[in-house]
């Protein structure tokens, strides 16, 4: 693989840095975690920004800092409270790792955020990118922060042919970044790359005429911008099919189940789910057509109950309330939502909860979507 960055001499590198940083000072985004160099705030923001849009993160960041303004308060927080503040951001292991790392800082660094790349990297949930971002922004250490945006910009800058989907390619980008990163303003340099990648050097249709570094960009000069970055296709998420049961008792309580302590959506609350095959799922879609029924006006008949949750003392509405889809990194959930009324003891593990108390429970995104389906049906029935 050609190492085109080796063709840059010290003068060209200095000119590139000066032009790029001048653009950043004029155009940088006004973000709440950029007001100072507090490593705690930078850390929280960088973890939140993983797999999440900046616009989404801003409100969550404000709420998080209000609830947990210090490392100690994060370390001491009840997990349910932590997950409730995180609710809706997804990838909940990020929040748990934050708390584990906060406890590490208390135990191993006397409550003070560590100041070396190695020590920062030793914290739970912090990989090379996050370690580079924190160390460069908070402590002015010239450490690269290489994420998807950065790899896209740098791959075009030097026409790097390495497949960014492969972990082994990181070495090339790390070497290129160490060649060009500002030694005096590494944090600003890394953030400039992040801003450029998100606003101008985008995955498709890059705005090259507005780019402050187009005169240095080899892909622009060769009119090959769309050839980079090189990236092999990701494996498609596996489709999984569920029936969700919204079960209500005579006290107007709804039955909820808590997920196991480990694994996907650990310790969070959902309506009961029963996995079915794709064929069964499609058959239920056709048989229980929602257009043919009104939610509460159609009769609830014990006989001929749908063949799911079959051992439970529940009489089910003979219609599907709606369908929910949710994509995780490796799974795609398809959920048909049904309503039923409880007629006796349940063998399911869980608890009855008044809807007014739902705010006390941590609901993952699929649960929020299912609840929205139910509430929309209630609203329709009252019209």
**Which residue in 98, 101, 116, 100 sits closest to 45, CA to CA?**
98
CA dihedral 97, 29, 133, 65 (to 10 degrees): -30
Is 73 catalytic? The answer is no
Length of the chain: 383
Q: Which residues contact 88 (CB under 8 A, 6 or more apart)?
A: 60, 365, 368
* 342 contacts 314 by C-beta, under 8 angstroms: yes
Backbone Cα Rg of the chain:
26
Distance (Å, whole) CA 355 – CA 373: 14
Tokens of 171: 């070495």
Q: d(Cα 292, Cα 277) in Å, to the nearest integer?
A: 24
Which listed residue (6, 11, 46, 323) is catalytic? 46
Please state, as a whole number, how many other Cβ atoms lie within 10 Å of the Cβ of residue 305: 16
Q: Which residues are catalytic?
A: 46
């Amino acid at each position: 693989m050609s190492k085109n960055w080796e063709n840059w001499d010290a003068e060209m590198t200095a000119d590139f840095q000066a032009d790029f940083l001048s653009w950043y000072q004029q155009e940088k985004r006004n973000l709440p975690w950029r007001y100072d160099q507090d490593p705690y705030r930078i850390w929280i923001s960088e973890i939140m920004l993983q797999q999440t849009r900046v616009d989404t993160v801003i409100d969550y960041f404000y709420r998080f800092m209000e609830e947990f303004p210090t490392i100690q308060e994060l370390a001491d927080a009840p997990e349910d409270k932590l997950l409730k503040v995180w609710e809706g951001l997804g990838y909940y292991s990020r929040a748990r790792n934050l708390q584990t790392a906060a406890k590490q800082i208390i135990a191993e660094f006397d409550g003070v955020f560590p100041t070396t790349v190695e020590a920062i990297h030793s914290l739970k949930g912090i990989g090379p990118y996050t370690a580079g971002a924190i160390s460069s922004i908070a402590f002015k250490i010239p450490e690269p922060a290489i994420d998807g945006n950065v790899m896209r910009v740098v791959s075009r800058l030097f026409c790097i042919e390495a497949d960014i989907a492969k972990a082994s390619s990181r070495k090339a980008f790390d070497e290129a970044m160490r060649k060009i990163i500002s030694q005096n303003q590494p944090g600003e340099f890394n953030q400039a790359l992040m801003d450029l990648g998100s606003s101008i050097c985008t995955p498709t249709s890059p705005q090259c005429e507005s780019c402050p570094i187009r005169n240095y960009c080899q892909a622009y000069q060769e009119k090959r911008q769309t050839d980079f970055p090189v990236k092999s296709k990701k494996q498609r998420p596996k489709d999984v099919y569920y029936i969700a049961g919204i079960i209500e008792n005579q006290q107007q309580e709804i039955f909820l189940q808590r997920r196991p302590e480990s694994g996907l959506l650990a310790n969070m609350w959902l309506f009961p789910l029963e996995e079915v095959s794709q064929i069964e799922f499609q058959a239920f879609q056709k048989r229980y057509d929602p257009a043919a029924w009104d939610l509460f006006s159609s009769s609830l008949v014990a006989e001929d109950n749908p063949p799911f949750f079959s051992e439970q003392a529940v009489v089910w509405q003979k219609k599907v309330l709606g369908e929910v889809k949710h994509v995780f990194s490796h799974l795609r959930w398809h959920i048909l939502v049904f309503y039923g009324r409880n007629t006796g003891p349940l063998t399911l593990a869980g608890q009855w909860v008044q809807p007014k108390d739902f705010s006390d429970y941590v609901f993952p995104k699929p649960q929020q979507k299912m609840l929205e389906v139910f509430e929309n049906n209630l609203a329709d029935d009252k019209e």
